[in-house]
Amino acid sequence: MVVSSRFARNSVVCLFALGVLAASVAGLGISASAAGADSSAAPYIVVLKDDVAHPANVAHRHENNRGANLGHIYRAGVEGYSAELSAGALNAIKQDPNVDYVVPDGIVHLDSQSTGPAVRRVFANTNPKLDIDEVDDVRVDADIAILDGGVAPHPDLNIVARTDCAVAGPNCQDGAAGFNNHATHVAGIAAAIDNNFGVVGTAPGARIWSVKVLDSSGGIREEPDEEVTASYASDVVAGILWVLAHSSQIEVANMSFGCYASECSPGPMREAIAAAVSAGVVFTAAAGNQNVDVLGEQQGPLSPDPYQPAAFADVIAVSALEDSDGAPGGTGPNPSSEACRVDGAFVKKNGTYLHFGQDDTLANFSNYGPAVDIAAPGTCILSTWPGGGYQVLSGTSMSAPMVAGAVAGLAAAKNPNNRVEVESIRNYIRSLGNYNWIDQHPVPQPGKTVDEFPMAFDGVQEPLLDMRIPVPPAAATAEPNEISQTKAKLNGSVN
């Protein structure tokens, strides 16, 4: 574990291993408890009442009078601030008539672990509007915000803006260049350029906005399949509000991370997303890798409470499909011995083949339940990697940006401007889905391995992403039967 300080507090880190989930369905988030330099202080998010005109004034008053150690200041969408507060300051601030509520700041975790022809499985390569032909002549005319650990410069990505919200201070720092493996991989799944090398995304060449909300202080470690990443919910809220401030340009935002409601209070994050959705931003979110019900309603030993932001009604929650051959029918290779293919070779982890269930079934790590809106391939996905390379990862982290790219193609025809248009796109992408897969998940049993767990259905099968029909919804289109494209512009990138 690596611990890094943020505005005089120690930040909690989350260690996640890529490609380890076949051995356990316990999930990837490994969290530690927060430890501050001042044992009497702890991190909180203070939400002010809607009629407070100047949140910064209240925040600085609490700083001066109550000793609040300020972090972010939220000025629009959610009014308030994040700070470390002593027990006495907390009690006093709760009594301030300008304060609506105060919640503990919490930790969010990444949702990835370990290539397969996923683009073919969702039929993106057959969509004539995407023009996937290994020629960089047409790019999807849309903007996708990747809220994650920062997207690395890469020749296969069209990065147009960067900001860092995982920093001390009241504002995100535009132009900051921090990045990590996970965010770079996620970005490529959504929008890798259609050219003659590397990979292609479901929205080829779409403009990427790197919104760093996860602390990548651990960087790329010597172990190639491990990375240290952490985030406070307050950083995520700041990133969402930054997207809100740029909602006239950003159509889609992807969030491949999460936390249980008991780990980070849902209020501020939910309110920030709701404000951005009302401004016309479509959010996709990873369902999570814990093999539990997203809402926590189908209770079990691994399902303590709702997993957010996937549990929020305003996001498109995405589960992961195990696909080993890029085709429907469930006839792919036996995953117990043949799983992740890379350049014709099967991938092993510590001498054991990686596998995530039978072909065309719900991946054995994926969360499930009625809160999930759509499924997409999420195992053995090859995508972009820092340093200009490519790597294989698996997880609902990989499924969510696949849907984000598909949504960007629909949103490109007209930048959605309000909640109605966002909901129209959400309903439409679901209506295009197919059900040519088996929605079942393993039920953990004491003393048994994941291969021996009995299988169960959650009673609600979500549609599987299907990009064959390129007709955008009526409420979010300028011209019928058209997904907007733009001729490739080979300059202007901030890679």
Q: Would you report the helix, strand and coil content of the chain in percent, each value rounded to 5? A: 20, 25, 55
Summarize pLDDT for 156-207 with one digit per residue, the tens. 999 999 999 988 788 899 988 789 999 999 999 999 999 989 999 999 999 9
Token pair 């955008």: residue:
472
> Which range of residues forms the domain containing residue 378?
109-487
Residues 263 and 157 in one domain: yes
Q: Please, are residues 78 and 272 in contact by the beta-carbon 8 Å criterion?
A: yes
Please give the residue that has the higher pLDDT: either 219 or 148.
148
Q: How many domains does the chain have?
A: 2
**CA angle in degrees (0–180, nearest 5) for 421-425-431:** 140
In this structure, is residue 492 part of a structural domain? no
- When pLDDT is averaged across residues 468-473 and rounded to a whole number, the result is 60
| pLDDT reading at 441 higher than 90 | no
pLDDT digit string (tens) for 188-202?
999 999 998 999 999
Strands 315-322 and 374-377: parallel
Mean pLDDT, rounded, for 347-370: 74
For the stretch 237-265, pLDDT in tens is 999 999 999 999 999 999 999 988 888 88
- Average of pLDDT values for 277-283? 98
Residue 303 has pLDDT above 90, yes or no: no
Lowest mean pLDDT among 36-40, 44-48, 97-101: 36-40
pLDDT at 106: 82
Bridge-based pairing of strands 173-174 and 159-164 is antiparallel
The verdict on 413 and 462 lying in the same domain is: yes
Is the pLDDT at 23 greater than 50? The verdict is no
Q: Residue 38: pLDDT above 80?
A: no
If asked whether residues 147 and 93 sit together in one domain, one would say no
| Both tokens assigned to 167 | 């920093």
Q: Are 420 and 414 in contact (CB under 8 A)?
A: no
- Euclidean distance between CA atoms 393 and 383, whole angstroms: 8
Asked if the structure places residue 495 within a domain, the reply is no
Classify residue 257 as left (phi > 0), alpha (psi -120 to 50) or beta. Answer: beta
Residue 374: strand pairing partners: 318
Joined together, the tokens standing for residue 330 give 């469930």
Compute the distance between CA of residue 389 and CA of residue 178 in angstroms, rounded to an integer: 17
CA distance 30 to 6: 20
Q: How far apart are CA 427 and CA 316, in angstroms?
A: 10
| Side chain identity, residue 153 | P
Whether 494 is covered by a domain: the verdict is no
Same domain, 314 and 346: yes
Rounded to whole angstroms, the Cα distance separating 398 from 181 reads 12
Q: Which of 70, 87, 104 is the last residue of a domain?
A: 104
Residue corresponding to tokens 């980070």: 264
Residue 271: which of 250, 244, 248 has the closest Cα?
244
